[in-house]
Amino acid sequence: MREGWGAYLGRFRRQYHHDLREALTSMPWQDVTLLLDDLAETWTRTDENLASLVDIQNWWLEAEYVKWTTDPAEAKSASRRAGGKVPPLPALRAVAHRPPKAHAAAVERYAARVPVDKPVGQMDARAFGALFGL
């Protein structure tokens, strides 16, 4: 009911070719409720843009959290280990609430943008200890 009755009137007419007000007066309320529950979801470009803004805000907050909690010297050494490469454009995870089909599409877009790291061979004990300064 987030859209209000005005949105239901138009959607009901488009899908069932019947006026919702007439249905409410001429049909049992249980039948009208079933029809309203079966109305196709409307997911507009505006809704997707708002969900994308939530995804971007989430990415920004996570990036800021990393900045707040990472030691500058540690970040510099990690940059050297990575060869000073600039990371690719961020892949935004789909964190906003979307209808199932739109969410599945957003997850597929995310999976396509995430760089796939090739698995490196098993790490020996000395290299593992070096990670922790041992």
DSSP characters over 82-132: TTTPPP-SPPPP--S---HHHHHHHHHHHHHHSPPPPPPPPPPHHHHHHHT
What are the residue ranges spanned by the domains of the chain? 5-37, 45-115
User: In terms of C-beta density within 10 A (0-12 exposed, 13-18 middle, 19 or more buried), how is residue 69 classed?
Assistant: exposed
DSSP 18: S
- Please report the pLDDT score of residue 2 as a whole number: 54
- Please report the pLDDT score of residue 132 as a whole number: 78
* Structural tokens at position 5: 């009755």
In this predicted model, what pLDDT tens digit does every residue of 25-73 receive, in sequence order?
999 999 999 998 888 777 888 888 999 999 999 999 998 988 888 888 8
In this predicted model, what pLDDT tens digit does every residue of 71-109 receive, in sequence order?
888 877 777 776 666 666 778 889 998 988 889 999 999
User: How far, in Å, CA of 8 to CA of 36, rounded?
Assistant: 8
